[in-house]
Chains A and B, each alone.
Chain A
Amino acid sequence: MATKNKKKKVTVIDNPNEQEVLSSSEYSYIGMVWSRFKRHKLATIGLVLLVFMALFAILAPVFELITGYPVEHSSLAVKMSPFSTPGIVAKIIHPDFGNPEKPMGRVDFWFEVTSDNNPEKTGFASVKESIFKNPEYRKFYDFNMKAYGNTNVLLTNDQVVEKPDGSAEIVKGGYSEFFIERARNKKSMLSGQIITYSPTFESVDNSITEVPGGYNGPREIDISEAPMNVFGTDGLGHDVLVRLSYGARMTLMIAFVVVILETLLGIFLGALAGFYGGFIDALIMRILELMMTVPTLPIYMVLSRFMGGGSAIGIIIILAAFGWTGVARMTRGMFLSLRNQEFTEAARAIGASPMRIMFKHLLPNSLAPIIVGITFSIGGVILTESTLSFLGLGVNKILTPTWGGMLDEANKYILDQPWPAVFSGFLIFLTVLAVNFIGDGLRDALDPRLKV
């Protein structure tokens, strides 16, 4: 169809109107690829989906503003269904709360935390006063606090150290401010009958600092004025929509950075191997074969657990360090087939430097399969990153939401409340599907003979 059009228009070139059409992008290589790509229905759908995901990620702060839930905000209303509004009651229950005559040792406040949405589940929270004074701690606290069953407050991943006086201390670098009273039923605390509650202490905070007229017994604080959680809340009371949006940022950012890095590395090494051949080729190919024989997922898991430290940069480096093999192999293959062709010899004859031949002559001619390959590998990286996060070995899921991490978190209560798991799983799936559609379309558009 496209070629027919072209012929027809070339014959009527003296018409000035047609000349404009001729100079349009239709006749450039990219224009041709684009017009072929557009005809691929699924690929177009994929592109629209991916743009949508990118917007979803970019607009994360806007979602925060609209919903009224900052990403680090966690409320008592956990595991809520979409379109519900949280109604929360935090009840201060310790009879000695605020009583200056009976100091409570290292624990200053006790709360019984209940949620309107799950009234049958209650927990006690005890917190040292300085937490309320120090905004840094409070922020951290809002993220991490988990009330354990019928007992007390623990920080995620923290160690409980028992003290001789019967109290217990939670040790975490810099956060030893958090103490807990020894659990009434120690077993249930340590075995972790996990009911996740994160009270919004900001609301509680105000009434505590005021405490008008000193001690006046246990009292309730009603915090039922809250905006709607459009996608519900997760097990820590985070707004799922905002978390998903920030998760999109992290997941997509990691995927794109990894793919860019592995492409650069792969093209460079593959070009060296394919162009020079001989010893360099043999060396690079042996390393490549080795990396392709080793099972990567367990190695990612090990490196990420022991070296990644839950940071995005760690994950990016690990994935890119092992991901370049596909691109390198493709580049090498293309270079091998192109390096003896006439245009390369011509370039050599006029004295072009090896670098110039490699990157000005050979690379542009090998780009078609490489582009298709890296498109598919975006999907692969998203899958691997999500898998690592799902196994709890990815980016720290409490501080930084990722889709895989959210799914792991939601998996714990998937039978009570499947929504957070459904949303995050669906987004991962949809993004990978979109990328694969685009890859299929690109393959057909760039070079229909390609078999990648």
Chain B
Amino acid sequence: MIQYALKRILYLIPVFIGVTFFTFLIFLVVPGDPVRLALGQHPNPELQQKIEHELGMDLPWYIRYFRYIGKAVQGDLGTSIRTGEPVTKIILDRFPATLTLTVAAMVFAIIVGLPAGIVSATKQYSLVDNTFMVMALVGISMPVFVLGLILLLIFVSFLHIVPGTGYGDGQLIYMLLPAITLGTIPMAIISRMTRSSLLEVMGSDYIRTARAKGIKEKSVVLKHAFKNAFIPVVTVIGNNFASLMAGAIITERVFNWPGIGSATISAIEQRDLPVVMGLVFFIAIIFVIVNLIVDISYIFIDPRIKLE
């Protein structure tokens, strides 16, 4: 088990290099020299050269990549050309908000999606099942920003249940709408997956045995069937962290949530290249780490995985 985990962590190294290099490559081809942007339309050529030299912009790209990585490892992702703030500080300021939002969204997705899937599977083709599954399909097709705006209109401007957008002072009420918005797509996917996976398991022999023993149906479903049905659901939950990150960017924009996503958008709007680059790097790394955690957690859920 530990061996598998170690193997996965070692595998992370090439992935890290690959992902960071790829991101770096994109910023290499992107036009918009940060020095030129900072100095304006007609920069003093000497000054420009001096700054470029100080920043190492005159070096070959591969050396710049290693320098960037070297500094990034030490926690230096450069500074904003607009505000002069270190990018690391921006990330540290903004990340907690994004983290709470994504976790809240996932909690919402699981506590609503799992029961919905279980009920649908146990009452297949019933009215409840059909309603849930159509709702799940609607949830998957609903663009995050449309859902967010609808919730805003209903709960903020018409019903006045939620005071407004933004972070508030961290009160839960402010988190309610963004979390529902962000959690709806994973919720829909989880409920669909739970349903199909549970249906498959319910047809297997050991379930018939359990029923034959005279165990209550409730405990057949929840104790016997659910344990096995849960494995593919975890895969789905893990895979959805990726789309959750993308969804977080949009959700933060709609609800003025002060997280990484809204920071990325405003940095892109202001053409603040070092900040954009640092943030995209950070998001990519978070991505990779989340995937790793999901992979490792499989060992605990499904011990057979070790054998592969």
- Residues of chain A touching chain B, judged by Cβ–Cβ distance below 8 Å, are 42, 286, 289-291, 293-299, 301-303, 305-307, 379, 383, 386-387, 390-393, 407, 411, 414-415, 418, 421, 425-426, 428-429, 432-433, 435-437, 440
Contacts and interface: CB of A to CB of B under 8 A. Distances in A.
A390 to B, nearest CB: 5
A293 B292 CA distance: 11
B268 A293 contact: no
A296 B137 CA distance: 23
Interface stretch (B44-52, B75-83, B108-116, B282-290): B282-290
B264 interface: yes
A95 B30 CA distance: 51
B207 interface: no
A303 B30 contact: yes
A290 B143 contact: no
Given A303-B26, A390-B145, A407-B145, A293 B291 contact: yes
A436 B137 contact: yes
B149 A393 contact: no
B140 A436 contact: yes
Contacts of A387: 143-145, 250
A290 B22 contact: yes
- The CB with the most chain A CB atoms within 10 A, among B138, B145, B280, is that of B145
B105 interface: no
Contact of A297 (B30, B157, B249, B271): B249
Interface residues of B, number: 45
B137 A298 contact: no
A303 B277 CA distance: 12
Nearest to A300: B246
Nearest to B156: A415
Given A295-B284, A433-B138, A436-B140, A392 B269 contact: yes
Contacts of B280: 295, 298-299, 302
Given A302-B26, A425-B145, 7 more contacts: A295-B246, A297-B246, A302-B276, A386-B145, A390-B145, A425-B149, A433-B141
Contacts of A42: 134, 137
Contacts of A299: 23, 26, 280
A293 B15 contact: yes
19 contacts: A290-B15, A293-B288, A297-B249, A298-B264, A301-B268, A302-B26, A302-B27, A302-B30, A302-B280, A307-B30, A387-B144, A391-B253, A425-B143, A425-B145, A425-B146, A426-B146, A428-B146, A433-B137, A436-B140
A303 B250 CA distance: 17
Contacts of B173: none
B18 interface: yes
B6 interface: no
A307 B29 CA distance: 9
A411 B149 contact: yes
B26 A305 contact: no
B219 to A, nearest CB: 28
A231 to B, nearest CB: 17
A407 B265 CA distance: 17
Interface in B207-254: 242, 245-246, 249-250, 253
A54 to B, nearest CB: 18
B157 A301 contact: no
Contacts of A421: 149
Nearest to B291: A293
B244 to A, nearest CB: 11
Contacts of B279: 298
Smallest CB-CB A-B distances: 8 pairs: A425-B146, A297-B246, A433-B141, A432-B141, A306-B30, A298-B280, A290-B18, A305-B268
Nearest to A435: B141
B282 to A, nearest CB: 10
A307 B268 CA distance: 12
Nearest to B283: A295
Contacts of A298: 246, 249, 264, 279-280, 283
A432 B143 CA distance: 9
A417 B303 CA distance: 56
A42 B134 CA distance: 9
A290 B284 CA distance: 11
B141 A436 contact: yes
Contact of A414 (B23, B137, B153): B153
A426 B145 CA distance: 11
B31 interface: yes
Contacts of A393: 268
A388 to B, nearest CB: 10
A301 B30 CA distance: 12
B142 interface: yes
A229 to B, nearest CB: 21
B31 A307 contact: yes
- The CB with the most chain B CB atoms within 10 A, among A301, A411, A414, is that of A301
B27 A418 contact: no
Nearest to B30: A306
Contact of A306 (B18, B23, B31, B157): B31
Contacts of B23: 294, 299
B168 interface: no
B253 to A, nearest CB: 6
A386 B32 CA distance: 25
A451 B287 CA distance: 26
Contact of A391 (B18, B157, B250, B284): B250
Contacts of A294: 19, 22-23, 284, 287
Nearest to B248: A297
A297 B268 CA distance: 12
Contacts of B19: 290, 293-294
Contacts of B22: 290-291, 294
Contacts of B15: 289-290, 293
Nearest to A428: B143
A199 B102 CA distance: 45
A425 B144 CA distance: 10
B146 A407 contact: yes
